[in-house]
Structure 1
């Protein structure tokens, strides 16, 4: 089965086309991205502004056409933090469906955490024992821990790299005082969630997912993406502390010149690194393995596990417009 996964995130809209079958390894066939920065387009009243909504509708329509021309039997379209947080999300969802035919579903933060954990569990297998996973998005931070495919604990916190950059680090470069203020605040915010996750059990394997963690690992010496997904990549707390001291003194333009950091991610990589540092400290983790699978793969795996009804590919806690064929 050829599937299209349309991911509307806080920074980018990403279409992934895969060939997948139940019990098999999903094979990526193509990847198409557009940088919309939806989170930055939410105005003072908490609404996604009209111009950005126009761009979102046009992008979804274009990507749906790409999925169709690529031979996708189904397009799974979902949105995360930015659309979830917008006060006019239902209006935007209705407009997307009316103008493109795409039923864009909004994932809850907890479902993001659960589905990402599923992907990580399938990647590492049962022999990994208890897995702890950390995922940093543009708008939220997800943490999960468990011994099965369904985590014992699945948390979602409003501590995304883009959100914290806008709220805490407006200057470029951010300045030592602001970095320390954010560091101290994150320690306080993560104290209770960290305790909750630790009480679930000590992990046999600590894992991190997301573009933020991949970039941080690359900046501390991990293999480039060109080396392929099966190369072991890790990020250590010591390497992360040294990296923060280095990149927090640089401008976003200078950070964009570093290998592994895109121009889109450069402005928020410092906040992302601080969230990673605080999360690892709160969870008492000194090193994490970088997993190449994350939320999109979790959605694909859940869809393949579902029964004949394709609308059951995610649980009923998902909010949004019901599925409708084009």
Structure 2
């Protein structure tokens, strides 16, 4: 059966088409991504402006055209934190339904953490032992820990790379004082979760499952996405830490010229790197395995 998962996020709408066969991992067939750039149109009162809603509808239309061309049997559309947490969320969903013919669902942060963990657990198998999953999105960061299909601990924190960029950086590149303020906020927000995870014990496998980690991994020399989902990609805390000051010294335009950094995410990759750096430090994790992508959810 050919399935499509449509992830409508703060930066882009991404459709991942996979071939799903009972007893086998989902195999990627085709992927398409269209910019939404919702963070640029999110007002201080958390209302999404009309231009952002229109970009979302165009992006969804394009992905649905691709799904039709590739004969997708079933499509699962979801919105993430940018739309889920918007004050006019229902208006946005109504417009998508009217213009595109489908109404995306949305998950709570806790549901998103649990679902991502389940997908990673299925991908890597039962022999992994205790598994820790970390996912830095545009609006939130999800962390989950467990050894079975249902995690023992799952949390969603307001530490998305786009959210923090809008909250702490008002010039490009940001001054050191704003970077220090962001680091302090991330550490304070992480403290309770980090204490709990340390109490739970050391995981046997730590997996990172987001575009932020994939781009950081490419910066540090990991194989590109075209090499496929079965190539092992890792990212060390040391490498992330060394890249933060280098990213901080560059404007978003110059970051976009770096290996693996897309123009649509260049403005927030610094915040994502800071969150990754502080998270791995708080959890005392030296290295993560970087998942090929969120397609494992299918």
- TM-score for both structures, normalised by structure 1: 0.87
- Secondary structure at the counterpart of residue 127 of structure 2: helix
Matches within 5 A, 1:132-211: 132-211=132-211
- Secondary structure at the counterpart of residue 75 of structure 1: strand
Is 1:46 the equivalent of 2:46?
yes
Question: Hey, what does 2:271 align to over in structure 1?
Answer: 271
8 Å Cα contact 2:225-2:292 kept in structure 1: no
- Secondary structure at the counterpart of residue 46 of structure 1: coil
* Cα deviation digits, residues 31-77 of structure 1 (max 9, x gap): 11111112332223321112221222233233223312321111111
CA distance in 2, matches of 1:187, 1:25: 36
8 Å Cα contact 2:15-2:63 kept in structure 1: yes
Question: Hey, what does 1:73 align to over in structure 2?
Answer: 73
8 Å Cα contact 1:10-1:138 kept in structure 2: yes
CA distance in 2, matches of 1:189, 1:57: 34
8 Å Cα contact 1:139-1:163 kept in structure 2: yes
8 Å Cα contact 1:17-1:67 kept in structure 2: yes
Question: Hey, what does 1:116 align to over in structure 2?
Answer: 116
* Unpaired runs of at least 5, structure 1: 301-326
* Unpaired runs of at least 5, structure 2: none
8 Å Cα contact 1:175-1:249 kept in structure 2: no
Matches within 5 A, 1:1-326: 1-294=1-294, 296-298=295-297, 300=298
Q: In the TM superposition, what is the alpha-carbon distance from 1:293 to its structure 2 partner? A: 4.0
CA distance in 2, matches of 1:73, 1:199: 44
* Cα deviation digits, residues 98-154 of structure 1 (max 9, x gap): 332202101111111111111211222111110111111111101010001111111
Deviates more, 1:76-85 or 1:244-253: 244-253
**Which one scores higher on RCO, CA 8 angstroms, separation ≥ 6?**
1
Q: In the TM superposition, what is the alpha-carbon distance from 1:234 to its structure 2 partner? A: 1.5
- TM-score for both structures, normalised by structure 2: 0.95
Between the two proteins, the alignment pairs up a number of residues equal to 298
Q: In the TM superposition, what is the alpha-carbon distance from 1:79 to its structure 2 partner? A: 0.4
CA distance in 1, matches of 2:171, 2:45: 24
CA distance in 2, matches of 1:219, 1:63: 28
- After superposition, the Cα gap between the structure-2 partners of 1:111 and 1:179, relative to the gap in structure 1 and judged at 3 Å, is same
CA distance in 1, matches of 2:48, 2:173: 28
- After superposition, the Cα gap between the structure-2 partners of 1:157 and 1:131, relative to the gap in structure 1 and judged at 3 Å, is same
CA distance in 2, matches of 1:229, 1:59: 25
8 Å Cα contact 1:80-1:106 kept in structure 2: yes
Q: CA RMSD in A?
A: 1.5
* Cα deviation digits, residues 274-324 of structure 1 (max 9, x gap): 000111112111111112243x421x2xxxxxxxxxxxxxxxxxxxxxxxx
Deviates more, 1:106-115 or 1:54-63: 54-63
CA distance in 2, matches of 1:77, 1:226: 24
CA distance in 2, matches of 1:70, 1:224: 24
* Cα deviation digits, residues 218-242 of structure 1 (max 9, x gap): 2123223333322222211211111
8 Å Cα contact 2:157-2:189 kept in structure 1: no
